[in-house]
Amino acid sequence: MTDYFGRPFISNALILLIGLLVCLTFIFGVVPDAFAHGVTEGDKGYIQETTGTLIVPFVYLGAKHMMTGYDHLLFLFGVIFFLYRLKDVGIYVTLFAIGHVITLLSGVLMEISVNPYLIDAIIGFSVVYKALDNMGAYQRWFGFQPSTKIATLVFGLFHGFGLATKVLDYEISPDGLVANLLAFNVGVEIGQILALAAILIVMGYWRRTEGFLHHAYATNTVLMAAGFLLVGYQLTGFFFS
């Protein structure tokens, strides 16, 4: 069986390799703090020692989280991989933003507690889902193409819960909470725009080369493997922490 690139569709060897990597993750049980939406001690200490409205610090924290949030960026990379028009990029990024804004605000204000390892495992799975989507897997397996827009919105909701767990970990003072939360969200959007701008610039140059379509399959295979590794890391943290 081949994909629409004319290459064998996800060989058994590749599936076994990915499975082996995930199993090794469980066996060794090594989960760096960076793989668990951890809050740096410096940032956490600063937030816990201050009260009141802190617009600039929370804008910075939101932008920092998105710019260093490899899981979010990998998903967005997959989303825009085959989007050539800025209008389409804007639509999908807006759907993603709407999703994570809803759950970020509701998750923090309603203090909805979600295990950070499990929510991050779902975020890792979103990377796998999008990579398989780019590889034409669902048309091959199920005979139809699921709505990419709905999937982007739904996974945006889960990504928002990931952001909410980070904010809740700050143990923010209720004094100025709403304003600080909105500032954090503004920072997230700023970070997202900056990250997307960099990705689109690189993608723009790459798409002009003859090697883009030739390497698209391999790139999404690597993206899928990265998503599986993220899932493995987070599930390891859930079971061994």
Q: What is the 3-state secondary structure (H, E, C) of 182-240?
A: HHHHHHHHHHHHHHHHHHHHHHHHHHCCCHHHHHHHHHHHHHHHHHHHHHHHHHHHHHH
Q: Tens digits of per-residue pLDDT, 203-233?
A: 989 999 988 988 999 999 999 999 999 999 9
CA dihedral 232, 111, 73, 190 (to 10 degrees): -170
How far apart (Å, rounded) are the C-alpha atoms in residues 71 and 123? 7
Does some domain include residue 4? Answer: no
Per-residue pLDDT band at 42 (split at 50, 70, 90) = low
User: Is residue 2 domain-resident?
Assistant: no
List all residues 6 or more positions away from 155 whose beta carbon is below 8 Å from its beta carbon.
75, 96, 99, 123, 126, 129, 130
Token pair listed for 85: 């028009």
Which range in 123-137, 151-165, 204-218 is most confidently predicted, on average pLDDT?
123-137
Confidence of residue 39 (pLDDT cuts 50, 70, 90): low
- Residue 3 forms part of a structural domain: no
Higher-scoring residue by pLDDT: 6, 75: 75
Are 11 and 221 within 8 A, CB to CB?
Answer: no
Please answer whether residues 36 and 234 qualify as being in contact, where contact means their C-beta atoms are separated by less than 8 angstroms: yes
Mean pLDDT of 52-78: 87
Structural domain includes residue 69: yes
Tell whether the model's pLDDT for residue 32 goes beyond 70.
Answer: no
- Please report the sign of the dihedral spanned by the C-alpha atoms of residue 118, residue 120, residue 123, residue 125: negative
5 located within any domain: no
Looking from the CA of 160 toward its CB, the CA atoms found within 13 Å total 25
pLDDT at 214: 87
SS3 8: strand
Q: Is residue 31 part of a domain?
A: yes
Quick check: is 55 in a domain?
A: yes
If you average pLDDT over residues 59-80, what whole number do you get?
Answer: 88
CA distance 232 to 121: 7
Which of 144, 233, 182, 177 is closest to 47 using CA atoms? 177
**Counted domains in the chain:** 1
Residue 153 belongs to some domain of the structure: yes
How confident is residue 168, by pLDDT bands cut at 50, 70 and 90?
A: confident
Task: Domain of residue 164: give its range.
Answer: 12-240
Reply yes or no on whether the pLDDT at 132 is more than 90: yes
As a whole number, mean pLDDT of residues 29-33 equals 44
